[in-house]
Amino acid sequence: MTELILVFLNVILPVFGIVLLGAFLGGRLKLQAQTLTRAAYYVFVPAFIFKSISMADVPLSSVAKMLLFIILTHLLAVFIAGGIGRLLGRSKEMIAAFVMIAAFGNVGNYGLAVIGFRLGEVAVPPATIYFVAISISAFIICVGAAGWAHGGSRGAFWKVLKTPALWATVPALMVSAGGLVVPLMLNRMIGLLADAMIPVMLFALGLQLLEQRKVHVTSDVLIGSGIRLILTPLLAVLLSSFFALSPIESAAGILQSAMPVAILVAIIAKENDIVPDFVTSVVVVSTLASVATLSLLMVWL
């Protein structure tokens, strides 16, 4: 019980405190989440990814195992989530929503901060690799699922290619594996931007949650939250032993799999008319519930 309290106070609360600060100050200062999220998406996130991966000393064989592990975990979660939707007799839109929820956790601002606090700086490079892999694969799955619900999907491939996170990954790998040297001035600029990513994104998450005003707690919302917070990390625990990962790589992957639903899922749902009120409710409920589920999981790990 003592360890659980310490995890809550020293790992979860600092992260969630910034989220709450964003929600508390957003209305009072008349701030808009879109400004911060767009800045983070196009500037801070690529800088963070470049810094983390370019400075990481992770063998390519380990990267390959981590990618296979995390992608397989989420593909299984997506398959099961879709099956649950069909078993419950839900509409195509609801089935697509369950799939999107299973595919995309908040592995950036929330996941990276929590993992860094709990596992230390040594866990940030593998957590960042998981972040990139989950984000790109989840974006493809979410756009594809939305297209399937409406009879087809166009442009998903090009949208993925335009993802700034992907732009930063390629040169970062060239620096890490190819021994390229980044000029000192550019390296310092990237470092400053990278250090700002997590607090900016956490504050923006608070603003986004403030803007998600329609929240309904139904049985489907609880099922969707359970898929993201319980099913996906359980699959990660079961699969991790088959990939001979190091303890840090395994723990980082399991924690990334346990993150609440990403706000981006609600945005995709709104843009594609995939039961947006339901998806928004799952985003809020899973984020609040993750305070308990992540605390318990970190104690267990």
- Cα(38)–Cα(114) distance, integer angstroms: 22
- pLDDT for the residue numbered 151: 64
- pLDDT for the residue numbered 213: 67
In this model, does residue 66 exceed pLDDT 60? yes
Q: How large is the angle between the packed helices 232-240 and 60-87, nearest 10 degrees?
A: 140
Residue-averaged pLDDT of the chain: 85
- pLDDT for the residue numbered 58: 67
CA 90 to chain centroid: 26
Q: Which residues lie closer than 8 Å to 266 by C-beta, 6 or more apart?
A: 212, 276, 279, 280, 283
- pLDDT for the residue numbered 178: 67
Closest CA to 111 of 93, 96, 131, 95: 131
- pLDDT for the residue numbered 233: 96
In this model, does residue 153 exceed pLDDT 60? no
Q: How large is the angle between the packed helices 263-272 and 124-149, nearest 10 degrees?
A: 20
- In percent, the amount of the chain with pLDDT more than 90 equals 32
CB of 266 closer than 8 Å to CB of 205: no
Structure tokens at 151: 């009879």
Q: Which residues lie closer than 8 Å to 120 by C-beta, 6 or more apart?
A: none
**For 230-244, how does the pLDDT look when each residue is reduced to its tens digit (9 = 90+)?**
999 999 999 998 988
CB of 18 closer than 8 Å to CB of 203: yes
Q: Give CATH for domain 2-300.
A: 1.20.1530.20
CB of 132 closer than 8 Å to CB of 169: yes
What are the CB-based long-range contacts (under 8 Å, 24+) for 31-34?
31/207, 32/207, 33/204, 33/207, 33/208, 33/210, 33/211
Q: Where are the domains of the chain?
A: 2-300
